[in-house]
Amino acid sequence: MQQLWAPWRLQYVTQEKPDGCIFCDKPLAGDDRATHIVRRGELAYVMLNTFPYNNGHLMVAPFAHTSELEGLSPDSLLELMQLAQQCIRAFKLVFSPDGLNLGFNLGAAAGAGVKDHLHLHLVPRWAGDTNFMPVLADVRVIPQSLDQTYDLLLEAFDRLEKEA
Protein backbone atom coordinates (compact mmCIF):
# COMPACT_ATOMS: atom_id res chain seq x y z
CA MET A 1 0.00 0.00 0.00
CA GLN A 2 1.27 3.48 -0.87
CA GLN A 3 0.78 6.43 1.41
CA LEU A 4 0.01 9.97 0.39
CA TRP A 5 1.47 12.48 2.81
CA ALA A 6 -0.26 15.83 3.21
CA PRO A 7 1.20 17.21 6.47
CA TRP A 8 -0.20 20.70 5.90
CA ARG A 9 -3.72 19.29 6.43
CA LEU A 10 -2.96 18.46 10.08
CA GLN A 11 -3.13 22.16 10.92
CA TYR A 12 -6.68 22.34 9.54
CA VAL A 13 -7.77 19.21 11.39
CA THR A 14 -6.26 20.11 14.76
CA GLN A 15 -6.50 23.90 14.83
CA GLU A 16 -8.90 25.63 17.16
CA LYS A 17 -11.74 27.14 15.21
CA PRO A 18 -11.43 30.93 15.36
CA ASP A 19 -14.07 32.96 17.15
CA GLY A 20 -13.93 35.79 14.64
CA CYS A 21 -14.52 35.91 10.92
CA ILE A 22 -11.53 34.96 8.75
CA PHE A 23 -12.75 37.28 6.00
CA CYS A 24 -12.76 40.20 8.43
CA ASP A 25 -9.66 39.23 10.44
CA LYS A 26 -7.17 38.29 7.70
CA PRO A 27 -7.17 41.69 5.94
CA LEU A 28 -6.44 43.34 9.32
CA ALA A 29 -3.47 41.06 10.09
CA GLY A 30 -1.15 43.37 8.18
CA ASP A 31 0.89 40.67 6.44
CA ASP A 32 -0.63 39.88 3.05
CA ARG A 33 1.97 37.21 2.27
CA ALA A 34 1.24 35.33 5.51
CA THR A 35 -2.52 35.56 4.94
CA HIS A 36 -2.16 34.85 1.20
CA ILE A 37 -3.98 38.03 0.18
CA VAL A 38 -2.85 38.62 -3.42
CA ARG A 39 -4.81 41.76 -4.28
CA ARG A 40 -6.66 44.48 -2.41
CA GLY A 41 -9.23 46.90 -3.69
CA GLU A 42 -11.00 49.62 -1.76
CA LEU A 43 -14.08 47.54 -0.97
CA ALA A 44 -13.01 43.93 -1.63
CA TYR A 45 -9.92 41.73 -1.81
CA VAL A 46 -8.59 38.45 -3.22
CA MET A 47 -6.93 35.65 -1.25
CA LEU A 48 -5.87 32.08 -1.79
CA ASN A 49 -8.02 29.40 -0.23
CA THR A 50 -5.82 27.86 2.48
CA PHE A 51 -7.39 24.44 1.89
CA PRO A 52 -7.98 24.58 -1.87
CA TYR A 53 -10.21 22.45 -4.04
CA ASN A 54 -7.66 22.78 -6.85
CA ASN A 55 -4.33 24.49 -7.42
CA GLY A 56 -4.80 28.27 -7.53
CA HIS A 57 -8.20 28.29 -5.79
CA LEU A 58 -8.95 31.96 -5.02
CA MET A 59 -11.68 33.71 -3.08
CA VAL A 60 -12.90 37.27 -3.57
CA ALA A 61 -14.56 38.80 -0.53
CA PRO A 62 -15.90 42.21 0.36
CA PHE A 63 -14.38 43.95 3.36
CA ALA A 64 -17.95 44.53 4.59
CA HIS A 65 -19.16 41.72 6.83
CA THR A 66 -22.32 40.46 5.18
CA SER A 67 -23.81 37.13 4.25
CA GLU A 68 -26.25 38.54 1.72
CA LEU A 69 -25.28 39.34 -1.84
CA GLU A 70 -28.28 41.62 -2.13
CA GLY A 71 -26.94 43.52 0.90
CA LEU A 72 -23.79 44.66 -0.88
CA SER A 73 -23.62 48.22 -2.13
CA PRO A 74 -23.50 48.62 -5.92
CA ASP A 75 -19.87 49.81 -5.61
CA SER A 76 -18.87 46.75 -3.56
CA LEU A 77 -20.59 44.41 -5.98
CA LEU A 78 -18.90 46.09 -8.95
CA GLU A 79 -15.45 45.88 -7.38
CA LEU A 80 -15.98 42.25 -6.36
CA MET A 81 -16.77 41.37 -10.00
CA GLN A 82 -13.88 43.49 -11.32
CA LEU A 83 -11.51 41.61 -9.01
CA ALA A 84 -13.00 38.33 -10.27
CA GLN A 85 -12.14 39.46 -13.82
CA GLN A 86 -8.58 40.21 -12.71
CA CYS A 87 -8.38 36.74 -11.15
CA ILE A 88 -9.44 35.15 -14.42
CA ARG A 89 -6.81 37.14 -16.33
CA ALA A 90 -4.15 36.14 -13.79
CA PHE A 91 -5.21 32.47 -14.03
CA LYS A 92 -4.83 32.62 -17.82
CA LEU A 93 -1.33 34.10 -17.50
CA VAL A 94 -0.10 31.70 -14.85
CA PHE A 95 -1.98 28.43 -15.26
CA SER A 96 -3.61 28.42 -18.73
CA PRO A 97 -6.71 26.62 -17.43
CA ASP A 98 -9.13 24.91 -19.79
CA GLY A 99 -12.05 26.21 -17.74
CA LEU A 100 -13.05 27.87 -14.48
CA ASN A 101 -15.59 27.33 -11.74
CA LEU A 102 -16.91 30.50 -10.10
CA GLY A 103 -19.50 30.45 -7.37
CA PHE A 104 -20.99 31.68 -4.13
CA ASN A 105 -22.18 29.28 -1.43
CA LEU A 106 -24.73 31.43 0.36
CA GLY A 107 -25.82 29.86 3.64
CA ALA A 108 -24.92 26.64 5.41
CA ALA A 109 -27.47 24.63 3.41
CA ALA A 110 -25.66 25.72 0.22
CA GLY A 111 -22.35 24.44 1.55
CA ALA A 112 -20.87 27.67 2.92
CA GLY A 113 -17.98 26.88 5.24
CA VAL A 114 -18.11 30.48 6.46
CA LYS A 115 -21.80 31.28 6.23
CA ASP A 116 -21.73 34.78 7.76
CA HIS A 117 -19.38 36.45 5.23
CA LEU A 118 -20.05 35.95 1.55
CA HIS A 119 -17.16 35.19 -0.77
CA LEU A 120 -16.80 34.19 -4.39
CA HIS A 121 -14.79 31.05 -5.16
CA LEU A 122 -12.72 30.93 -8.35
CA VAL A 123 -11.22 27.55 -9.21
CA PRO A 124 -9.12 26.94 -12.34
CA ARG A 125 -9.86 23.64 -14.08
CA TRP A 126 -8.08 21.54 -16.69
CA ALA A 127 -9.41 18.88 -19.02
CA GLY A 128 -8.83 15.58 -17.27
CA ASP A 129 -8.07 17.13 -13.86
CA THR A 130 -10.52 14.84 -12.14
CA ASN A 131 -8.83 11.65 -11.06
CA PHE A 132 -9.40 8.69 -8.79
CA MET A 133 -8.05 10.29 -5.61
CA PRO A 134 -11.18 12.29 -4.63
CA VAL A 135 -13.45 9.41 -5.58
CA LEU A 136 -11.62 6.58 -3.80
CA ALA A 137 -9.77 8.30 -0.99
CA ASP A 138 -11.54 11.66 -0.50
CA VAL A 139 -8.14 13.27 -1.14
CA ARG A 140 -7.23 16.08 -3.50
CA VAL A 141 -3.73 16.30 -4.93
CA ILE A 142 -2.49 19.90 -5.09
CA PRO A 143 0.77 20.02 -7.08
CA GLN A 144 2.09 23.32 -5.73
CA SER A 145 2.55 24.96 -2.34
CA LEU A 146 0.42 27.96 -1.40
CA ASP A 147 3.52 30.15 -1.21
CA GLN A 148 4.60 29.19 -4.74
CA THR A 149 1.09 29.81 -6.04
CA TYR A 150 0.97 33.13 -4.18
CA ASP A 151 4.21 34.30 -5.79
CA LEU A 152 3.05 33.38 -9.30
CA LEU A 153 -0.34 35.03 -8.91
CA LEU A 154 1.09 38.14 -7.25
CA GLU A 155 3.48 38.54 -10.19
CA ALA A 156 0.59 38.09 -12.65
CA PHE A 157 -1.59 40.68 -10.86
CA ASP A 158 1.32 43.15 -10.84
CA ARG A 159 1.97 42.53 -14.54
CA LEU A 160 -1.71 43.04 -15.39
CA GLU A 161 -1.79 46.27 -13.37
CA LYS A 162 1.22 47.63 -15.28
CA GLU A 163 -0.36 46.71 -18.62
CA ALA A 164 -3.68 48.41 -17.77
Catalytic residues: 119
Q: What is the DSSP string of the chain?
A: ------THHHHHHHSPPPSS-HHHHGGGSS-HHHHTEEEE-SSEEEEE-SS-SSTT-EEEEESS--S-GGGS-HHHHHHHHHHHHHHHHHHHHHT--SEEEEEE--SGGGT-SSTTS--EEEEEE-TT---HIIIIIS-----S-HHHHHHHHHHHHHHHHHH-
